[in-house]
Structure 1
């Protein structure tokens, strides 16, 4: 048994002196990457040796700032368009390099994020005596997922020490054999340090990757229905992604080029909260929707599709936000018109939203991750998994 771990006590909600490997595809801008940033920094500052393993090249600069004590290992095998044969070879290369990286890190615990990465991690850890926890960060029922990956997920997830989802709805989607040990841990809200309110320019903000999932095409259609009624308001969609050309073409076809801005990713994480006056989430589905929670914590009135899952956990309709049926463009347009046209309503929603968001303070959510890690490490110690290689 490792001396650095065996001489320490694992409390009910705390751990000390562990080596932890966190596996995630990339460290760019996004909700999962933000969560990884919070957890990794928290554990590093608590005295653990944290290694981040990504598919990115070794020299890529993370979007979020990490504690200097954290080791970042880029495997140099990022996603890329290729033939089926090349894709298969690339998957094998990822598994091989991931396995080598895990062995070098000698972790007492491996925590993996996102479905395909979870599958790769479980394959890479086959035969290694280390507990692996997998975390689902999206809607498992609706996210695009090929039949081979689905088959691998069904076969491999039962091997994991445990499964983490952000909502009970997502967890209930998985069969019992995949959730023998399971945790529901919501996302924490963490606004940028030193942010300032620079509001009053009538900005309706939306944030997310420019993908089909985020429903910005539905948002553009909804905004086009109320744009003439509220000429003083403009829509700003923050984010980047493959759908940009199509969304820009749709915006221009709707005659909204002067009313809709798409400036890309903010220079620093979360700075969009400074200039927004109202926030809207138009996703077709979500795992959680961290930007919605960030908007609420920043004291913004919010309007959201009630997509599965996340928004319904955060918002109590008409109290701290407005929920509309998922995908209903007419209902979204009406709700946005209601909020944009009523300053008193915006103020009331903003005050209650900020109060509601305090339920997701980082210290509370991170204590749940501590409890999860403590459980895994205790089990590993009991089954003699905490042995130095």
Structure 2
């Protein structure tokens, strides 16, 4: 089955709470890390919301002890770090570290005895299903990217094919992503997009003629394509600059590309914003240049903040958010010239920017925290009731 926001009622939680009247539900959320990122933001949001209701919530990550989370967490949320951080290892050491991670994850599940485990991202999903085998603990796995464009190698692909049918259910953020999985891997399925939840301490300081892009500095985000597009229009708009927020392995290559294009004084790469969402404060136009996405939460955050946006029509996410010409501009996937033309149109037309921004703010309400939380409540309700039965 598939659950979209078109059929989601408003936030309630009564179903789960009524079914769990004897005691508060115990939920364990598992993901690779708690740094800056879309999945990390979703997990932090869910944990805080459920803890606010009095539920017992634990977040389990392989991170090293003492690693500080990027997003604020309620003091009621328990953090369990396995101290086996995810990083690149050689084949032999990598296999050993994965085995240790699996052992510690299973031991943590047995200690926590959660009513439900919700796991995020493919390799962590596989380990969560394996770790819960024989415990009676249901596991819901959540894919957060475009399965068509991700390759995990033959071993992890086979493990996913074997383990996902044994999970209680599968969550994706778009129907397109869900359709990538064989029927046996999605016997129970829900489509739940990311929520848009802007930090309350954002103070707009705009009118600085700033185009912004946000994301990890990796090929997926297409910042190399964005640099090429901006180079085509930079001379037409000499008072505008481009800021690419984020960190990652492509920093050196992107910096070299920027300099080769003669954009050293026009393009800045300041790293990760000091506070979640702080990049919104100084942005006048937002651009999503990704080659592919699972959803593209920063695009929705920009729309909710009342920014004019332009995005590649990549799979998946932007088309679900943007109605072209009404609340944003969609550009043919990967077309650098079209991206340059759309950006140039926005930069020279103040009334268009204002109109798109106003409609973007209204469109973003479809993905409010209340609506998305209600969808997650339905999933938890179904899993807990099935376990009792």
TM-score by length of 2: 0.94
In the aligned structure 2, how far is the partner of 1:65 from the partner of 1:310?
26
Distance across 2 between alignment mates of 1:176 and 1:60: 38
Asked whether the 8 Å contact 1:122–1:160 carries over to 2, the reply is: yes
2:61 to 54, 69, 85: 54
Q: In 2, distance between residues paired with 1:48 and 1:300?
A: 36
Distance (Å, rounded) in 1 between the aligned partners of 2:151 and 2:245: 23
Q: Name the counterpart of 1:386.
A: none
SS of residue in 2 equivalent to 1:228: helix
What's the offset of the Cα at 1:58? 1.9
The correspondence for 2:32, drawn from 4, 20, 25, is: 25
Match of 1:44 among 51, 64, 68: 51
What corresponds to 1:5 in structure 2? none
The CA RMSD over aligned residues, in Å, is 1.0
Q: 5+ residue gaps in structure 2?
A: 1-12
Q: Which runs of 5+ in 1 are unaligned?
A: 1-9, 383-389
1:177-256 to 2 correspondences below 5 Å: 177-256=184-263
Q: Which residue, out of 354, 362, 365, partners 1:347? A: 354
Decide which of 328, 331, 335 is 1:321's aligned counterpart: 328
Distance 2:156 2:259 in 1: 38
Instruction: Tell me the secondary structure at the aligned position of residue 189 of structure 1.
Output: coil
Partner residue of 2:7?
none
After superposition, the C-alpha distances for 1:170-227 in whole angstroms (9 at most, x for unaligned) are 1111111111110000110011112121100000000000001000000001100000
**TM-score when scaled to structure 1?**
0.94
For the residues of structure 1 that align with 2:326 and 2:87, how far apart are their CA atoms? 44
Query: Which residue does 2:372 correspond to in 1?
Result: 365
User: Structure 1 runs of 4+ off > 3 angstroms?
Assistant: 10-16
Q: Aligned-pair distance for 1:364?
A: 1.1
Q: How does 1:332-343 map to 2 (within 5 A)?
A: 332-343=339-350
Which of 101, 109, 127 aligns to 1:102? It is 109
SS of match in other structure, 1:366: helix
CA separation in 1, counterparts of 2:33 and 2:86? 10
Q: What whole-Å deviation, never above 9, does each CA across 1:289-321 have from its counterpart, x for those lacking one?
A: 000000000000000001100000000011100
Say if 2:175 is the partner of 1:168: yes
Q: How many residues align?
A: 373
